[in-house]
Amino acid sequence: MFNFFKKSKSKGNEVKAPIKGNLIPLSEVSDDVFSQKMLGDGFAVKPTGQEVVAPVSGTVTTLFPTKHAIGIKTAEGLEVLIHLGIDTVELKGKPFKLFVEQGDSVKAGDKLAEMDIADVADHGLDNTVMVVYTNMDLLKEVKDVDPRPVEAGDDAQEIAFN
């Protein structure tokens, strides 16, 4: 248990913050689908920035037509969903600009999208960005996040594969 810190430096299974803002546990998200981890475990960021980056390296597998969600599959097969805001599907893509296409290879930290967080808030919607691991069977551990300010691309959460 006490050599956890040594492991994290050598193993490098850190998932990055997808946007500048305040890192929070997924359990603190206002939508039960996320806070109750119905889609899987992960973390969230209450954004103060606009640029959305890849939290992991992999292949873009899913781009919703409404631009509010992006799926990435890692080399290990982990499926990671980046969900931009809560109920933002209703905005039909208006506050989002995508910079990737389905099938693109991305590295952690690569720019995926821009999100007009003020526009989302102006519509009375929550602009929190969630990162969710949808096939949890591949993971043996998802470390709790330490709530703190983060920059896009900062280490946000450590995961361990089976």
Known catalytic residue at 83? yes
Catalytic residue among 29, 70, 83, 131: 83
Segments of the chain with pLDDT less than 50:
1-10
Asked if 76 contacts 66 with a C-beta cutoff of 8 angstroms, the reply is no
pLDDT score at 97 = 98
pLDDT per position as a tens digit, 105-140: 999 999 999 999 999 999 999 999 999 999 999 999
DSSP states along 60-123: EEEE-TTSSEEEEE-TT--EEEEEESSSGGGGTTTTEEE---TT-EE-TT-EEEEE-HHHHHHT
pLDDT for residue 12: 52
CATH of domain 13-161: 2.70.70.10
In this structure, what token pair is assigned to residue 23?
């890192």
Q: Which residue has the tokens 């248990």?
A: 1
pLDDT at position 1? 42
Domain ranges of the chain: 13-161
pLDDT of residue 35: 96
